[in-house]
Amino acid sequence: MSRWWIIAGLAGAMWAQEKKPAPVLPRDARPAEKQAEDQLPPEEDIAAIPQQYSFNPVRSKRDVEVGNFYFKKGDWKAAAGRFREATLWNEGNADAWLHWGEAEEKRGSVKAARSAYEKYLALAPDAKNSADIKKRLEKLK
């Protein structure tokens, strides 16, 4: 019988511990992500915060690869968006500028295509296809 009293006493102690409310941390002791969420209006989401770009050639190369996928599928808008994103991660990525110009040309956006081609020629003036790109620029005027 004494064993049952011991087991009942332990179960009661465990049950009492489970009922305790979680401690409330002061505002400054919470993680930075939670503090940032508190500063946003309730309808805002952290995913809606604009992306901050820094030099990342790996991410730039990945965006070019994804842009090429969309380009081959014929989704010029998605391809142009990915190539633009690649130039934001690495402004010196000449391939991204070239492909962005091609995608914008397919979309019919003359001004954006010209701008991308000009940046490509500034980055790679001795490229094998520079004569072809210069001809495209003349057509886009």
Q: What is the pLDDT at residue 51?
A: 78
Runs of H (alpha helix) within the chain: 2-18, 32-39, 57-73, 76-89, 94-107, 110-123, 130-139
Q: pLDDT (tens digit, 9 = 90+) per residue, 130-140?
A: 999 999 999 98
pTM, to two decimals: 0.66
The domains of the chain are located at 57-139
Give the residue ranges of the chain where pLDDT is below 50.
none
Evaluate whether the domain defined by 57-139 bears CATH number 1.25.40.10.
yes
CA atoms of 107 and 105, how far apart (whole Å): 5
